[in-house]
Amino acid sequence: MNSLILRTGATFVMPLLLVFSVFLLIRGHHLPGGGFAGGLVAAASLTLYGLVNGMGAAKAVLRASPEIWIAGGLGLAVLSGVPGLVLRGSFLAPIWGTLGGVKVGTPLAFDLGVYLLVIGVVLTMVFALSEEGQA
């Protein structure tokens, strides 16, 4: 797309959307948000980048195919349930600890897995639709 307004706006909006997506990811433990909402915002940011610079450029920004993002996110989400199964006898039971004075736990790993999974799924659909539109 060759629009000066879109190109200029995307230059400013895309980094803000990515920061906001991470904010939603981290905030999701106690308030609305989490991996799903954050992943949608991140995918929207990358879709905007693809609209401005071409979907090939958006694929290059990912550095891996969306299928790899899906597999990694799904694997991380499933693996985040294993510590609860081993230590508490219940899959996905939350296990908490501190890392450098910050409270972290398996729910954050689950949310991160969902975040990566949603980015991969949405971008798979966007890329497929963009290729079909070119045919």
Per-residue pLDDT at 21: 97
Per-residue pLDDT at 2: 78
Helix/strand/coil for 91: coil
E strand or H helix that includes residue 99: strand 96-99
Q: In the structure, what pLDDT confidence band is assigned to residue 127 with cuts at 50, 70 and 90?
A: very high
Rounded mean pLDDT of 87-111?
Answer: 92
Q: Which residues pair with 72 in a beta bridge?
A: none
Rounded mean pLDDT of 124-135?
Answer: 87
Per-residue pLDDT at 135: 63
Q: Which residue has the higher pLDDT, 75 or 32?
A: 75
Domain total for the chain?
1
Domain span including residue 115: 4-134
Interatomic CA distance for residues 55 and 71, integer angstroms? 21
Query: CA torsion 61→67→72→75, rounded to 10°?
Result: 170
Per-residue pLDDT at 117: 98
Rounded mean pLDDT of 89-97?
Answer: 94
Q: In the structure, what pLDDT confidence band is assigned to residue 133 with cuts at 50, 70 and 90?
A: low
Number of C-alpha atoms within 13 angstroms, CB side, residue 11?
A: 5
Q: Is the whole-model pTM more than 0.85?
A: yes
